[in-house]
Amino acid sequence: MDLERYKYIMKLISGGNYREYNGHLKEVMAMTAEKGFMTDPIAHLECQKAILTILENVEPLITQGRKLAKEKNDESYTEQADKNKLIASSYREIADGFAYRTLGNDRVRLRIIAQSDTPGLIATPSEGSKAGRNAELKLAQTVTRNGGFALLHDITNCLLVGDVSILRHIGDMPYLAEVKNKKLHTPVSIAKQLSNGQLITDQKSRLLQAQDMLSSEIIQSGATTARVIRFKLPVQHFHYGVQKIINKARNDGFAGKLLAPYLYVDVVDLHKINKAKLKDLQDRSQRKNDTLAMPFSNLDNLSIKLGGQAVRGRAPYSVYPYKIDDRVDLITGELYLFAELYIEPLKKALRALGWTLTLDIPDEYEKMDRRFGGRDLFREISHKEHFVKLQHNATGYVVYHGAEFLTRIGHEFLSAETVIAPIEAHRRLVVSGKLPPNEYVFAMNTHEDTIWK
């Protein structure tokens, strides 16, 4: 994120009316975190309907503000519209956490359902949109009356394939459904259309592919397939350390600490920024200035969402194991969290675990085409996106990953031991002959679900 973008976001989140929603966001966050909603299907749906009502009131203001800015040639309306966009995305991120918990904190399932274009705004209800939303709610209510659970995709940032996810129990594989022109479309009905020789829309094609991938746990990307393999492995993370940094920042306005030789985190409480001594903000004595560092920040998330994009492939702040107030302030940016991932110390830590890390980030990485839509759910991925090379020191075994390998440490605060563990477990299966050596694999540690709240 460039400096001008950073300044603009800081200007938005510093405005008085932006903070007016803070208290209500915390009430909604506390409500969705109640464990009772994960045992009662009807209460589970009512909680989502409450968020839907909020978005129906907030999101039309975004469209209205942008229209007024154009009509009156007044940028203040654009700024207010952008504030409302960030406010709405904050409620949506709370809904993301609700979906994350409902799906058993399952990274694979969330990644598959997030593989589409970002949702449009919930506009001022027209007769057509009212009918569509009522049909979705009717389906969800039918599910809950029969003892199942339903997720409303329209209120989230991350559920982008289909309109409703249906589960028999919390943590089950979801069954996707879509409502179009008052008609219900499911994988079964779409498959029946195909068997009858009928043409189907790209949207239906993607829904069918998503359901196939959820069921088979085989992810198809162009001509490449990757099998999902789940391991139960110990997890180590730095969240307790981050919570202590947040606590100190709440008191002093600013706090920072080196949590591992390869990870530095600091936090600024924007409520108390005027009380923080300037030298404290400048004196980050534990930071390393003599090595390549990759920055991560919650303001990056705000920039992504303000640009109409979705944050894919990583946990939302609404499930981080922090206090309710802290989660909300990380979502809104009122707690500014900044992390630096130091590459040379990370390489050293991985070498001690038996692996050599090599990064070959292409110059054009930021400009690579990451559009969604079309006929295929996952488009063919350029090998240049897999710029993280991991080579096992003893055997020469090599795997390639994308930026998510680094994100797991710098954004989700998992340890080097935790992110390398499923890769090592997969390598051992290959060496033992239980898996073919050239197969692509999405390795997942199911014990990560013990982290998220």
What Rg value do the Cα atoms of the chain yield, rounded? 22
Tell me the DSSP string of 383-406. GGG--EEEEETTT--EEEE-THHH
* 80 close to 65: Cβ distance less than 8 angstroms: yes
Closest by CA to 317, choosing from 118, 51, 95, is 95
Sheet strands side by side (includes 218-221): 218-221, 224-231, 440-445
The reported pLDDT for the residue numbered 390 is 94
Give pLDDT, residue 272: 79
Mean pLDDT value across residues 100-115: 92
Least confident range of 12-21, 41-50, 208-217: 12-21
DSSP state of 126: P
Where b means 16+ CB within 10 Å and e means fewer, 380-412 reads: eeeeebebbebebeeeebebebebbbbbbbbbb
| Cα-to-chain-centroid distance, residue 154 | 15
Rounded to whole angstroms, how far apart are CA atoms 41 and 146?
9
Q: Who wins on pLDDT, 103 or 366?
A: 103
Average pLDDT over residues 6-34: 89
CA 378, distance to chain mean position in Å, is 17
Crossing angle between the packed helical segments 298-306 and 75-102, to the nearest 10 degrees: 110
**Is residue 316 predicted with pLDDT exceeding 80?**
yes
Strand 335-342: give its sheet, edge to edge: 254-260, 263-269, 335-342, 293-297
Residue 425, burial from CB neighbour count under 10 angstroms (0-12, 13-18, 19+):
middle
Q: pLDDT value at position 123?
A: 61
pLDDT interval class at 2 (50, 70, 90): confident
Burial 294-330 (b: 16+ CB within 10 A, else e): bebbbbbbbbbbbeeebbbbbbbbbbbbbebbbbbbb
- The per-residue pLDDT for 247 is 97
pLDDT band at 373 (very low <50, low <70, confident <90, very high): low
Task: Give the H/E segment covering residue 89.
Answer: helix 75-102
CA dist 350 → 238, 299, 389, 417 (Å): 17, 29, 12, 8
DSSP 3-state of 438: coil
pLDDT: which is higher, 6 or 211 = 211
> What local confidence, expressed as pLDDT, does residue 121 receive?
74
**Which positions ≥6 away from 79 have C-beta within 8 Å?**
11, 12, 15
CA distance 297 to 88: 20
pLDDT category at 124 given cuts 50, 70, 90 is: low
Tokens 């991925």 -> residue: 381
Q: 3-class SS at 307?
A: coil
* Residue-level pLDDT at 400: 87
Q: How far apart are CA 355 and CA 357, in angstroms?
A: 7
Mean pLDDT of the chain: 88
Looking at the predicted structure, is the pLDDT value of residue 192 above 50?
A: yes
pLDDT value at 279 more than 70: no
Q: Report long-range pairs for 122-130 (Cβ below 8 Å, ≥24 apart).
A: 122/52, 122/55, 122/56, 122/59, 122/60, 122/154, 123/59, 123/60, 123/63, 124/60, 124/63, 125/56
Angle at CA of residue 343, ends 340 and 349, nearest 5°: 110
Strands 335-342 and 355-359: unpaired
Residue 238 is classified by DSSP as: S
Query: Is a pLDDT exceeding 90 seen at residue 415?
Result: yes
Q: Lowest-pLDDT range, 247-261, 331-345, 436-450?
A: 436-450
**Closest Cα partner for 57 from 2, 5, 120, 125?**
125
Give residue limits of the domains in the chain.
Answer: 3-216, 283-450
pLDDT of residue 278: 40
Is residue 276 scored above 50 in pLDDT? no
pLDDT of 189 > 90? The answer is yes
Higher-pLDDT residue of 1, 42: 42
Residue 285 reports pLDDT greater than 80: no
Instruction: Give me the pLDDT at residue 342, please.
Output: 96
pLDDT of residue 265: 96
pLDDT digits (tens, 9 = 90+) for 286-310: 666 667 889 999 999 999 888 888 7
Q: How many CB atoms lie within 10 A of CB 61?
A: 18
User: What are the pLDDT digits (tens) for 143-183?
Assistant: 999 999 999 999 999 999 999 999 999 999 999 999 887 78
